[in-house]
Chains A and B, each alone.
Chain A
Amino acid sequence: KAGVTQTPRYLIKTRGQQVTLSCSPISGHRSVSWYQQTPGQGLQFLFEYFSETQRNKGNFPGRFSGRQFSNSRSEMNVSTLELGDSALYLCASSSDRADTQYFGPGTRLTVL
Chain B
Amino acid sequence: TQLLEQSPQFLSIQEGENLTVYCNSSSVFSSLQWYRQEPGEGPVLLVTVVTGGEVKKLKRLTFQFGDARKDSSLHITAAQPGDTGLYLCAGGWGSWGKLQFGAGTQVVVTP
Which residues of A does B touch, CB under 8 Å? 4, 6, 31-33, 35, 42-45, 48, 50, 55-56, 58, 88, 90, 92, 94, 98-106, 108
Contact = CB atoms under 8 A, between A and B. Distances in A.
A101 B43 CA distance: 10
Interface of B: 2, 30-31, 33, 35, 40-45, 48, 50, 88, 90, 92, 94-104
Nearest to B32: A99
9 contacts: A31-B96, A45-B98, A45-B100, A48-B96, A48-B98, A50-B97, A55-B97, A100-B45, A103-B44
A87 to B, nearest CB: 13
B2 to A, nearest CB: 7
A101 B45 contact: yes
Contacts of A88: 40
Contacts of B92: 98-99
A31 to B, nearest CB: 5
Contact of B102 (A31, A42, A94, A104): A42
Given A4-B42, A108-B40, A43 B96 contact: no
